[in-house]
Amino acid sequence: MRRNSAPNNGTAGVSETTPNGEPSTSTAEGVARRAAVAEEQEFLDLATARRDRIADHLQVELSSEALDASERARQRMLRQQYEELRRAREGLVFGRLDGLDGIVRHVGRVGLRNDGEDGEPLLVDWRAPAARPFYTATAVDPQGQARRRHIRTTGSTVVGVDDEPLDGTTSAELVGEGALLAALDQRRTGLMSTAISTLQREQDDIIRAKATGPLIVQGGPGTGKTVVALHRVAYLLFTHRRMADQAVLVVGPSPRFLQYISQVLPALGETAVVSATCDTLLADIRVGRDESRLVAEIKGRALWQPALERYVASLLPRPRELRLRWEGEFYVITAATVAQALASAVQGRPYHRARAAFAEQLHHLLAEAVAEQREALMNEMEEGFEDILARVDKGMGYDRHSARTSTGSDIDGLLSEEEIEHLRTRIAESATIARFIEAWWPTLDAEALLGDLLTDRTLLARIAPRLSPEEITAVSAEPAAWASSDIPLLDALADLLGEVDAPQPQGEFVADHARRQRGWVYGHVVVDEAQELSEMQWQMVLRRCPSRSITAVGDIDQAEAAHRHTSWAQAVQAAFGDRWTAAELTICYRTPREVMDLTEPVLKKAGSHNAPPRAVRSSGIAPWELTITPAELAGAAAQAVRQLQQRWHGGMVGVIAPAHRVADLLAVLSDVPVLTATQSKGLEWDATLLIDPHGIAAEPRGWNGLYVALTRCTQELGQLVLT
């Protein structure tokens, strides 16, 4: 942070090059441009040197061995700081704010302090409150700022700047339009890039929203839903450091999608993150088969949660008298005592934890029974011995009572507290007692239980009475392998059963711990393409974040899943009721206006009542169609892909087709992704070749799928229409 005597608004809109990449020929503009670039290069050099010094210092500290737990904790913190600095080589500085008070603040990937004793910020972290005006200030609401500057860098070199005056009287529709649109025009790489230098106000409002409950973000294609969700993770981990101790879970729609976003959070310096799909949340279970949409829809309903609770409750042992053998003797625990111990052990605990609690009580009860029986036996022996002595004494004329002294004591048969505790420990370690408990209250397996349930129509009818006979018939089958719709049911059963032996955390990073443990409770969960989740999948999410600190982003109009939800209220009612907050992204930054103009009639045919998001840019390329016969498809597709690759050299071309055509197309299009509309969800390419749009529309929820397929490109859309 530094002071500037007078913010220079005269360089508004300057950049190093003209739109076609040629040097500017305007002398005045060129002088202003060179001065601005030189000024920011000087600052970037200063910030880079400072970052390197801090990183070197951290590396020296990390080279020393930690001796105790406190030092290991500090070392983890230092390693995280070091990794954040190391990753900040690219885009270290990307913005600047010139305040009306003359204070200049540079904004970057990480925060850096000056070398001086005052510790004033040299570079403001983009997540810090002081950086927020960089994203939210406008000419109408300048928030104390005179100018905002976007700084474009390649490695350690400043290649351009874009200035925006904020103290004028005119308002701009977009914040930082020049920098934003320049970023959007860049070639796609197949991996999502960070967007911290070009976030817009409605995006930033969502990123910095409170994390006290479920936040459901509706956003159409190209509105930056995923960017917002991931940058929200980085912001929350920075702002709420305790959240990093619990990790954040990011749930995406597919492994391809997770690979697509895999670079974003590490690039932002965040490592306390676990990413998964709903199918991979159970680490030891693999999806091995597809299932009909009908069955998937039935298995996704919320009714399964109470049904499975009834199922597991029915497997608990019933109170009865227990007869236990210990060291050759039998001991009886009455049915009333067993019932009391059962009620105390269950109390909302999962099945196996309740069993462990009952076993502990049973060990005490048996130890007490053994002690009581020993006491009774010793009392009987003592009374019998006293009778014998009394008869002998009488014959000898000897009075035992008068002969007693205060220094003697009778053997009463009572065990001391230490002896009883030692007995209880021996009972707890007894293999015989463990086998008895296992036989009476057996260890259960979620997979075996679900398999039994899905093959027993009578049992299904009893535990899920809301299913019709036809629906029971549809879902009852011998599962040769698990389908995607089975995973939430297995997860619910695993949760109701609980761990037999809870795994001990190992490894260094919290994400490693969380990834290994099904029952890990996360500090926050982000769900992308949330409109696809079934009610039972929402239950999976809620189990992993009972605090309900959840951000879900998606587009209800892009839903293709088997469930019947057409609104967010329907989609999340079972999980959240009415206790959730809605937010909306309304501006399409990715898809050009020429393509978005095609989407409104498709949305209407999909049954949507929403308007498509407003596109803010034009690619200048009109979407095109080529009508062909099925016999011409292979050749036409190969030729169209070659032409698109030539036009968008250095970028990405993607092909979207109906599911039944994908395999044949892959045989002739080996160097581009060929996906269904569902598989393309969340992805983007410079150019999209859409094959057989009518075939996509004919698929289940096909108009929603066609809406997805139309909106994957950032520049050009071509369609091969089959006759």
Binding-site residue numbers for ATP are 219-226
Instruction: Report which residue type is found at 317.
Output: P
Q: Where are the beta strands (DSSP E) in 367-471?
A: none
Which residue carries 């036409």 as its tokens?
636
The answer to whether 577 touches 542, Cβ cutoff 8 Å, is: no
Pairwise CA distance, residues 577 & 302, whole Å: 12
The two tokens of residue 700 are: 């289940």
**C-alpha to C-alpha distance for 608 and 395, rounded to whole angstroms:** 109
Cα Dmax for the chain = 137
Sign (positive/negative) of CA torsion 505, 508, 513, 516?
negative
Residue 391 CB neighbours (<10 A):
10
Q: What are the φ/ψ torsions at residue 26 (nearest 5 degrees)? A: -75, 120
- Taking phi first (over 0 means left), then psi (-120 to 50 degrees means alpha), and beta for anything else, what does residue 143 get? left
Phi-psi region of 650 (alpha: psi -120 to 50; beta: other; left: phi over 0): left
Secondary structure letter of residue 93 according to DSSP: E
Give the HSE-up count for residue 479: Cα atoms under 13 Å, Cβ half-sphere.
27
CB count in 10 Å sphere of residue 191? 13
What's the CA gap between 364 and 366, in Å, rounded?
Answer: 5
- Closest-CA residue to 575 (of 550, 557, 554, 556): 550
CA 682 to chain centre: 16
Give the span between the Cα atoms of 608 and 218, in whole angstroms.
13
627 in helix, strand or coil? Answer: strand
Known binding-site positions: 219-226
Q: DSSP characters for 542-595? A: HHH-TT--EEEEE-GGG--SSS---SHHHHHHHHHTT--EEEEE-EESSS-HHH
Distance CA 228, CA 527 (A): 12
The Cα angle at residue 622 between residues 620 and 625, in degrees rounded to 5: 160
Q: Could you tell me how far CA 348 lies from the centroid of its own chain? A: 26
Q: Helical H runs in 556-701?
A: 568-576, 593-596, 599-605, 633-647, 662-668, 693-697
- SS3 assignment, position 107: strand
Closest CA to 208 of 228, 188, 185: 228
